[in-house]
Every structure is written in C-alpha cells, then in structure tokens.
C-alpha cells in the first residue's frame, strides 16, 4: 500500500487534471464546472487530490471513508450533478488511476484501491438519495404549513424554519419591498448568523448583514441596487438565480457580504397567485456555487414557489398580512417591548343601550416605544405566536389589576379582552386566563373574551373544546368583528358565544346605503336574539347612529362618539362625567326632533311588522278596509311606530296604504312595492329639510 500512496502522491495532479478534462466532455458536468470561478475550480481539484490520497491511507477507517464520501455525495446532489454522470465519471476516474499508476503498483493494492473507490461511489449515491428524500419531506412539511396558515408572520416563520432544516438550504429569507421599493427581510435563518445562536430568530445576523447599509436591496430597475436576484424576480415575476456570487457581475455589490456569510449561490422566488404580481420574495441560499439549478432542484423550487404563492395570496386577501414589510430587527424590537413593561392597555367603554350606562370596557393593547405609542394595527401582525401569548397574559394581568383599582374607586366594571385566533388551538391561553382570574379574585363572569376567527381555520374538535373549557370556567365569550370577513355566520350557531360584536364596516353609513345598513344591523340583532345572544355594534362614530341603534334594539355600542380608548387612570373620571351628563339629559330632554337616521331606523322596524301582517293576507285586507290606516285597531296599533316618523295627515295615510297594497298585490319582489317603499323613505328624508331643527346634542361626546 505504501508504494500505492507514493505513486499517487507523484501522479495525483495528472490524474485529477485529466479527470477534469474528461468531465468537461460530459454535458451535464460541464454545465456545473462552467459555473465555477478559476479559484473555485483550483480548490475543487485540490480537494479531489486529497480525497484520492485519503482513500489509500491505511489509518482511515471504513467509517471515516464513508463519512468523507457522504459529504461529497451531498454536495454533488446539492449542485445538481446528474446521477448517471456521477457513476460514469467514477468509472473514468478509475481508468485514469489505472493508467497512471497501474504499472508500478501491485495488483493486490490496486484491487483494494478499486474496491474503495467503488464503496466511495456507493456512499456518495446514498447521500445523494438522502438529499432527495429530504426535499420530499420539506415539501410535505410546507404543504401542512400552507394548509394551516392563519397569519402571515406566523406563516413565514414556520416556512423559514422548515426550509432552514433542509440540507440544500444554507440560508433562507422572506421579505417584501416598501413603498420606495427598498426590500426588507421579514423572516430568515441561516448563514453565519446561525452560529451566533440567538434562538428566538436565527436569521438575525445574516439579515442584518444583508440589509445593512451599503447592501441595500431595491426592487426598482432604475435603482443602483435593483439588479440583484430579488429585484429581478420582483419585476419579472419569475425565479431568478445567482449561479455564483463570485462570478456574477450583476451581484458584484453583494459579493463580499455573501462570501462572509458563506453563501455562494441563490435563487429568488417571487410568491404570488398564478398570473398575479408578486406579493413577497423567498430567497434560498446555497453554500455551493450552482445551487438550485440542477433538474431536481428546479423541480423542487418550482413546487415550493407554487405552494407558497397560493398561501401568501390567500393570506393577503384575508387580511392576515401586515400592510407593510416589517424588517426582522423591528419585529425583534417589538417582541422585546411586549416582554419589558412597554405594554400599556387602554380601555374603551362599551355602552349598554338599554340603561345608557357603561358597565364594561374593552382592553386594547398599545406598546410604548420611546416617544411613540404603537397601535395594534402596526405591531400585532408582526408578532410571532409566542409573543401573542405573552401579550395576552400580560394584557390580562394589567386589565384585571386596573379593574381592581376602579372597583376600589367605586366603579364595578367588567372587562373584555381580545383573544387571538391561535388561542383556540393552544391551551396555554386558557391556563393564563384561569391563573389571572385567580390572582385578582375576579368573578369569571366579569371577564369577556373576544374571539376573532380566521376563515382559514375550520372549527375542529380541539378549537370547540378549548372554547368549551373557557365556558366551563364561567367567562363570557364574544364573537368579534362579525361581518368583517373574519367571522362567518355559521359559527354563530355552532359556537357558544354570549355576545356578537357587529363589525364597524357593517354599520358604516354612507349616503344611499344607510337604510340597508340599518336593515342588516336590525336583522343580525334579531338573529342574535333568537339564538339567545346579546348584540353590540362597533365603530359607532355619530350620535345619530347611536340613537338609531337603540331603536333597532341593539344591546350595546362601542365607538368614538361614546369615547375613545383611554389609559386606565382616566376611566373613573370619564364615567363620573358621563353619569352626570346622563342625569342632566334626563332632566331636561329637549324634545328635539329625531334625526333622519333614527326615523329611518323606526321605519325599518315598522317595515318588518308590516311584512309580518302582510303574511296573513286576510288580516292585511281588513287593515286596508279600515277607515284610517293608523286607527284604533289592534293591528293598526302594531304599526303606530311610523306615527313618529312622518307627520300625521293624508299624505302619510296614502303612502302607507300604497305600500301595503303593493305588497299584497305584487309581493316583496315587485317593482310596485319597491317604488312605494322608496316614496315613503324619501318622504322621511325630506322631512329633514322642512323641519330641520338644530342637530340634537351628541349625547356622549365630552
Ligand atoms: P377590535 O377588537 O375590533 O377593537 C376595536 C378597534 O376599533 C380599536 O382599535 C378601537 O380603537 C377602534 N375603534 C373604536 N371605536 C371606533 C370608531 O368609532 N371608529 C373607528 N374608526 N375605530 C374605532 P385598536 O385599539 O387600534 O385595535 C385594533 C385591533 O387590534 C382590535 O380590533 C383587535 O382586533 C386588535 N387588538 C387590540 N388589542 C389587542 C390585544 O390585546 N390582543 C389581541 N390579540 N388583539 C388586539
Ligand atoms: Ca375586539
Ligand atoms: Ca372588533
């Protein structure tokens, strides 16, 4: 064997040089060699010589040789070397070795060496297969993540974790450009940053490096930093590759940082629904030149792109995505704020429309960041799932502590707090709630949890059962944002809510739609009541609307016209002022005419009664025959509500009769009914112009 080693030492460079010449004749191998810089090729040849010598070393165990071969095989798989050419090239290598040293070395040593070369090839193929298996596993894992995706931030964190665990991916990152076209990574892992071992978010080091000054990434073609893979992919909507950071002139400005981070090649994948412009970009980095270009790799990244594109598009349409990219460093900063006493709960009164009093407040999170008070719309989406749990637990503690203070000041207020959708799958939220109630000796019925579901989630057993546990604990449950697209009607029946909160978009009044908005609110309220639930309208921003809601029978209201969210200390003062104001109003109610909106609300209620009477045709015909429409008959009394809406007189009589007649003759689909109804509502609207008294004082602004 010693002679063999000596012979190899003399001739290894010849063997290797010849070998690479032969390799260059194999089409697929040539493609890979051409991607290397001169320096990289020289390095590769040196490694090959070392390997050839190592195979002959007696000190190396078969275990050592296996490990060495697996390492090389893995690289071959990652750079996409064709399997058949791999096997062929090993034959060529064997021939070259025989040719150079065959004459000087014993047959026995030569045959031993040949067996080791074959074993080496076999190990390489095994490692090759392992990489392919790992691709399949990653795709399966990501398919699951895609199905379960509820929020963008959580989704990208999970995708990054899955990809970073895959051998071929040395680093990966997802991000989006801002309005100026500057690209920000929102999640990432790998690179040298990984070695620093910050567990919360490994990609920090890498992403800081990539996003640092001087390494700005832009998606604009006219920007100096817009020609990288990210920028090109954003504009073309197609996968764009950096085959080798050291040789690709387009990415020269990122050459050094890539080298420092150990990144040699990359692919940028635009994520979008088919045929749509990109929403985000996924970057995959390889530690070897020519990653992500072999046929297996191309198929892999294409599948990945399709899977993730669909998911991101869905998250975007379901508002599960922050409006603007939040760089990883900012996310980390906010997550730290949640944990360091920067969380400040503010409280917005919920008005009980039956009593006119405020007996409950909704706790809303704010984050104090130096001079700024960050609002949930900014930071919420950017928090990872553990941050949200922390936010909930700390927010609840604060709210119950504040509740205790208010109680000491003589105000017994219930507290409502938001539960993120993840809480329905995560028992830790339940435990945090139980623990907090105990700590503050708060009766559980004084706590309401507002649940917002994402459509992506179907209510499975587990979610139902966690809600069931909350119920058994005795807290109240509210379905938040009904009608916003997050929460569906089907859940109303399935889930044990005590309250329904109608989203502010539903009661949003604009011009002609006011009447329809009132109808929807009225019907949802009836539906809620018939299911045994209480109903609250959110986002009430005018006194007129507040009055209209009370007429429609809505149980509660929340909105700026009542009060804006405020710090805990301001609440007792506000309540005292509100109660004084109420008492004052009650004493000298000005008897001012109701607003048009309030009268339209009365009409909506009246219309419903009319429809019910019309459903009994005999009764309706009797009513039409009566001398006066609003006469002193029990049936007509059911309709007196309209008496407050239009001034009494022949005109009103005629409008009402027309409406009922149209309904009886043509039904509610008929044009006649619609026309008669429009005449009546126009008459109501017109009274606003005739008898316009000064607007009644908004009763709850202070
Ligand atoms: P939400 O639960 O629907 O809370 C009501 C939001 O509407 C609050 O915004 C409130 O300030 C705002 N609002 C109240 N009245 C009016 C009005 O008359 N007009 C308008 N335009 N807006 C009104 P905020 O505090 O910015 O909270 C936004 C959302 O963030 C909340 O919507 C809730 O989904 C979420 N959120 C807030 N705090 C927390 C929290 O502690 N945990 C979780 N998981 N989510 C929270
Ligand atoms: Ca809420
Ligand atoms: Ca809400």
Nearest to 257 by CA among 182, 171, 174: 171
Encode pLDDT of 630-685 as tens digits: 555 555 555 655 556 677 677 777 888 888 888 888 888 899 999 999 988 888 88
Out of 42-56, 180-194, 236-250, 409-423, least confident range:
180-194
Helix and strand numbers (H, E) in the chain are 25, 15
Ligand 3 centroid vs 374 CA: distance in angstroms? Answer: 18
The residue nearest atom 33 of ligand 1, judged by CA position, is 418
Spacing, Cα 340 to ligand 2 middle (Å): 24
Q: Which residue has the higher pLDDT, 212 or 41?
A: 41
DSSP-derived pairing of the beta strands 534-537 and 265-271: unpaired
pLDDT of residue 51: 92
List C-alpha distances in Å: 610 to 75, 526, 543, 655, 662. Answer: 79, 16, 28, 13, 12
Dump the DSSP string for 457-522.
Answer: ----HHHHHHHHHHHHHT-EEEEEEETSSSB-HHHHHHS--SEEEE-TTTT---GGGHHHHHHHHH
Dist. CA 506–CA 527, nearest whole Å: 15
What spacing in Å lies between the alpha carbon of 481 and ligand 3's midpoint?
A: 4
The minimum-distance atom of ligand 1 relative to the CA of 481 is 3
Query: From ligand 3's centre to the CA of 484, what distance in Å?
Result: 9
Contacts of 62 (CB under 8 A, 6+ apart): 119
Q: Contact at 8 Å (CB) between 328 and 160? A: no
Is the sign of the CA dihedral 321, 324, 330, 333 positive or negative? negative
Percent of the chain whose pLDDT exceeds 70: 87
Considering only CA atoms, which of 284, 285, 334, 282 is closest in space to residue 312? Answer: 282
Q: Which of 392, 397, 418 to mutate to test the pocket of ligand 1 (most atoms within 8 A of CB)?
A: 418
Q: H-helix or E-strand containing 419?
A: strand 414-419
Q: Which residues have CB under 8 Å from 535's CB, separation 6+?
A: 499, 500, 502, 524, 525, 528, 529, 554, 555, 556
Reported in sequence order, the residue ranges of 522-619 that DSSP labels E, i.e. its strands, are 534-537, 556-557, 566-567
Sheet holding 183-190, edge to edge: 183-190, 171-177, 280-286, 265-271, 240-242
| Residue 529: CA count within 13 A, CB half-sphere | 11
pLDDT value, residue 193: 52
pLDDT value at position 195?
A: 35
Mean per-residue pLDDT, 443-463: 73
What is the rounded distance in angstroms from the CA atom of residue 572 to the CA atom of residue 653? 50
For residue 269, pLDDT over 90 is answered with: yes
Distance 395 CA to ligand 2 centre (A): 13
| Over residues 299-327, mean pLDDT | 86
Pocket-testing residue among 360, 364, 374, ligand 1, by greatest number of atoms within 8 A of Cβ: 364
Least confident of 320-329, 410-419, 472-481: 320-329
Strand 357-369 to 240-242 pairing: unpaired
The CA 386 to ligand 1 mean position distance, Å, reads 21
Tell me the pLDDT band of 486, cut-offs 50, 70 and 90: low
**Ligand 1 pocket test target in 337, 362, 380, 382 with most atoms within 8 Å of CB:** 380
Q: Is the pLDDT of residue 535 over 90?
A: yes
Protein residue closest via CA to atom 21 of ligand 1: 539
* pLDDT of 491: 74
State both tokens at 339: 């944990």
User: Which residue CA neighbors atom 24 of ligand 1 most closely?
Assistant: 376
pLDDT above 50 for 6: yes
Nearest ligand for residue 539 CA: 1
Give how far Cα 537 sits from Cα of 13, 517, 545, 599, Å.
82, 12, 10, 18
The token duo for 128 is: 């090759």
Superfamily per CATH, domain 2-130:
Globins (1.10.490.10)
Tell whether the torsion through CA atoms of 297, 299, 302 and 308 is positive or negative: negative
What value does the mean pLDDT of the chain take? 86
| Confidence at residue 357, expressed as pLDDT on a 0 to 100 scale | 93
Question: What local confidence, expressed as pLDDT, does residue 654 receive?
Answer: 80
- Give residue-wise pLDDT tens across range 586-637: 665 555 567 888 888 988 988 888 888 788 878 777 777 765 555 555 555 5
Rounded to whole angstroms, the Cα distance separating 697 from 238 reads 59
Which atom, in ligand 1's list, is nearest to the CA of 565? 11
Q: CATH: 3.40.710.10, 1.10.357.140, 3.30.450.40, 3.40.50.1370. Which one for 149-317?
A: 3.30.450.40
Does the structure show a pLDDT above 90 at 286?
Answer: yes
User: Based on the number of CB atoms within 10 Å of its own CB, is 1 exposed (0-12), middle (13-18) or buried (19 or more)?
Assistant: middle
Q: What is the pLDDT of residues 353-408, one digit of tens each?
A: 999 999 999 999 999 999 999 999 889 888 888 899 999 999 999 999 999 999 99
Condensed to tens digits (0 to 9), the pLDDT of residues 30-89 reads 988 888 888 889 999 999 999 999 999 888 888 999 999 999 999 888 888 888 888 999
State the distance from the centre of ligand 3 to the C-alpha of 538, rounded, in angstroms: 6
3-state secondary structure of 566: strand
How far is it, in rounded angstroms, from Cα 589 to Cα 567? 31
Give me the torsion for CA of 469, 472, 473, 479, rounded to 10°: 70
Do the two domains 2-130 and 149-317 of this chain adopt the same fold? no
Contact by Cβ (8 Å): 280, 271: yes
Nearest to 38 by CA among 293, 289, 265: 289
- Report the run of H or E that residue 241 belongs to, with start and end: strand 240-242
Per DSSP, the three-state class of 292 is coil
Pick from 395, 393, 399, 386: nearest CA to 430: 393
User: Is the pLDDT at 691 greater than 70, yes or no?
Assistant: no
d(CA 49, CA 93): 11
Question: What lines the ligand 1 site, CB under 6 Å?
Answer: 348, 364-365, 375-377, 380, 391, 395, 418, 420, 450, 452, 480-481, 504, 538-541, 558-560, 565
pLDDT, tens digit (0-9, with 9 covering 90-100), for 504-532? 888 777 766 888 999 999 999 999 999 99
Give the model confidence (pLDDT) of 43-56 as tens digits: 999 999 999 999 99
pLDDT at 483: 81
Rg of the Cα atoms in the chain: 36
Q: How far is the CA of 319 from the centre of ligand 3 (A)?
A: 14
Half-sphere exposure of residue 188: CA atoms within 13 angstroms, side-chain side: 33
For ligand 1, the distance from its centroid to the CA atom of residue 362, given in whole angstroms, is: 9
pLDDT of residue 204: 53
In the numeric block, which tokens belong to residue 282?
Answer: 């996924």
Q: What is the pLDDT of residue 627?
A: 53
The confidence score (pLDDT) of residue 639 equals 61
Q: Quick one: pLDDT at residue 650?
A: 72
Prediction pTM value: 0.76
Which of the ligands is closest to the CA of residue 503? 3
The class of domain 339-580 in CATH terms is alpha beta
Band (199; pLDDT cuts 50, 70, 90): very low
* Domain ranges across the chain: 2-130, 149-317, 339-580, 596-688
CB-CB contact of 233 with 268 (8 Å): yes
Who surrounds ion ligand 3 at CB < 5 A? 480-481, 538
Measured between alpha carbons, how far is 544 from 699 in angstroms, rounded to an integer? 10
User: Distance of alpha carbon 244 from its chain centroid, rounded?
Assistant: 34
- Protein residue with least CA distance to atom 7, ligand 1: 539
**pLDDT grade for 202, boundaries at 50, 70 and 90:** very low
């Amino acid at each position: 064997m010693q002679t063999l080693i000596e012979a190899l030492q003399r001739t290894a460079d010849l063997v290797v040089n010849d070998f690479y010449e032969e390799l260059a004749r194999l089409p697929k191998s040539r493609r890979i060699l051409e991607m290397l810089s001169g320096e990289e090729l020289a390095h590769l040849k040196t490694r090959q010589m070392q390997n050839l010598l190592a195979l002959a070393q007696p000190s190396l165990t078969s275990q050592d040789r296996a490990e060495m071969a697996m390492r090389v095989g893995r690289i071959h798989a990652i750079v996409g070397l064709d399997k058949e050419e791999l096997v062929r090239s090993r034959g060529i290598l064997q021939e070259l070795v025989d040719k150079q040293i065959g004459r000087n070395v014993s047959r026995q040593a030569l045959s031993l060496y040949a067996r080791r070369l074959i074993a080496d090839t076999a190990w390489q193929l095994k490692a090759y297969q392992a990489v392919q298996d790992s691709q399949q596993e990653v795709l399966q894992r990501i398919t699951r993540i895609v199905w379960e995706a509820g929020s963008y931030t959580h989704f990208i964190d999970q995708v990054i974790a899955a990809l970073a665990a895959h051998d071929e991916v040395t680093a990966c990152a997802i991000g989006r450009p801002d309005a100026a076209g500057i690209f920000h990574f929102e999640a990432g892992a790998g690179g040298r940053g990984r070695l620093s071992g910050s567990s919360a978010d490994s990609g920090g080091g890498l992403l800081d490096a990539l996003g640092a000054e001087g390494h700005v990434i832009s998606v604009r073609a006219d920007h100096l930093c817009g020609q990288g893979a990210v920028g090109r992919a954003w504009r073309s909507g197609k996968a764009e590759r950096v085959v080798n950071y050291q040789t690709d002139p387009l990415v020269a400005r990122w050459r050094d940082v890539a080298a420092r981070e150990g990144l040699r090649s990359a692919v940028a994948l635009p994520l979008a629904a088919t045929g749509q412009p990109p929403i985000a970009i996924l970057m995959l980095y390889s530690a070897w030149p020519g990653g992500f270009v072999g046929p297996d790799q191309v198929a892999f990244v294409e599948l990945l792109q399709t899977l993730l594109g669909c998911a991101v598009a869905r998250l975007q349409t379901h508002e599960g995505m922050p409006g603007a990219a939040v760089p990883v460093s900012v996310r980390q900063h906010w997550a730290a704020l949640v944990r360091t006493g920067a969380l400040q709960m503010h409280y917005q009164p919920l008005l009980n429309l039956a009593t006119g009093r405020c007996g409950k407040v909704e706790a809303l999170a704010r984050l104090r960041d130096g001079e700024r008070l960050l609002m949930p719309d900014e930071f919420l989406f950017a928090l990872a799932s553990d941050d949200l749990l922390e936010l909930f637990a700390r927010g609840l503690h604060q709210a119950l502590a504040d509740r205790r203070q208010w109680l000491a000041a003589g105000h017994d207020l219930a507290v409502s707090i938001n539960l993120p959708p993840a809480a329905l799958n995560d028992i830790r939220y339940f435990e945090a709630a139980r623990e907090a109630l105990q700590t503050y000796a708060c009766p559980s019925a004084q706590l309401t949890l507002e649940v917002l579901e994402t459509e992506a989630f179907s209510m499975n057993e587990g979610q139902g059962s966690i809600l069931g546990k909350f119920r058994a604990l005795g807290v109240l449950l509210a379905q938040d944002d009904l009608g916003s697209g997050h929460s569906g009607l089907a859940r109303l029946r399935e889930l044990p809510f005590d309250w329904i909160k109608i989203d502010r978009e539903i009661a949003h009044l604009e011009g002609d739609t006011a009447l329809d908005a009132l109808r929807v609110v009225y019907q949802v309220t009836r539906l809620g009541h018939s299911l045994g639930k209480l109903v609250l309208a959110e986002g009430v921003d005018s006194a007129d609307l507040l009055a209209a809601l009370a007429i429609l029978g809505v149980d509660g209201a929340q909105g700026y016209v009542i009060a804006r969210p405020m710090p805990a200390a301001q609440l007792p003062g506000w309540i005292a002022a509100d109660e004084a104001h109420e008492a004052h109003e009650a004493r000298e109610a000005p008897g001012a005419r109701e607003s048009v909106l309030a009268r339209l609300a009365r009409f909506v209620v009246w219309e419903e009664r009319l429809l019910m009477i019309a459903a009994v045709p005999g009764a309706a015909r009797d009513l039409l025959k009566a001398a006066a429409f609003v006469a002193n008959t029990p049936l007509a009394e059911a309709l007196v509500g309209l008496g407050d809406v239009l001034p009494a007189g022949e005109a009103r009589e005629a409008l009402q009769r027309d409406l009922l007649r149209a309904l009886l003759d043509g039904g509610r689909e008929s044009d006649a009914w619609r026309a008669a109804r429009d005449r009546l509502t126009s008459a109501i609207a017109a009274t606003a112009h005739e008898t316009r008294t000064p607007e009644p004082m908004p009763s709850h602004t202070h």
